[in-house]
Amino acid sequence: MIGRLFRILFGYLAACLSGGATVVLLPLAGIGGDAGWPFEPGILTLGMIMAGIVTAIYAFPAAMTLIVIAELGRIKSWLFYVLGGGIAAMATFIWLGLEPVADLNASGLPFAAAIIAGGMIAGLVYWAIAGYRD
């Protein structure tokens, strides 16, 4: 039981960091080209960590709802976690009252799509660490 709680906690933290990294890096995908990457790696690393912390704080209610449903229902499907992560990310996006602004990135990808992709990757990471085990 204690081991399961540690897997859930570690899975949630890793999922938040991976989702935050996705939200930071995905909109920057179109920047650079042949000129190279114009950002300092330390700044990007700090941005990804900060995005992970913000994700952990604000996505907590939606993520814990999904985790409790999965634990009580003994759901082990990766698809549940991936789709649930995307839905939880979009629910958090709407709950915070954020507007889907399209000009925040250079890749032409809408910001809401980056948020949903981050949630889906976070769900997959959580499943890989804590979701598919008994």
Q: Is the pLDDT of residue 37 over 70?
A: no
Q: Which token pair is 23?
A: 């939200």
Q: How far is the C-alpha of 83 from the C-alpha of 6, rounded, in Å? A: 23
pLDDT in the model for residue 22 = 87
Q: Is the pLDDT of residue 107 over 70?
A: no
Positive or negative CA dihedral for 78, 83, 87, 89?
positive
pLDDT in the model for residue 104 = 53
Show Cβ contacts of residue 128 under 8 Å, excluding neighbours closer than 6 positions.
11
What is the rounded average pLDDT of the residues 97-114?
64
Contact present, 106 and 31 (Cβ < 8 Å): yes
Q: What percent of the chain has pLDDT over 70?
A: 81
Q: How far is the C-alpha of 31 from the C-alpha of 64, rounded, in Å? A: 35
What is the rounded average pLDDT of the residues 13-39?
75
Q: What percent of the chain has pLDDT over 90?
A: 32
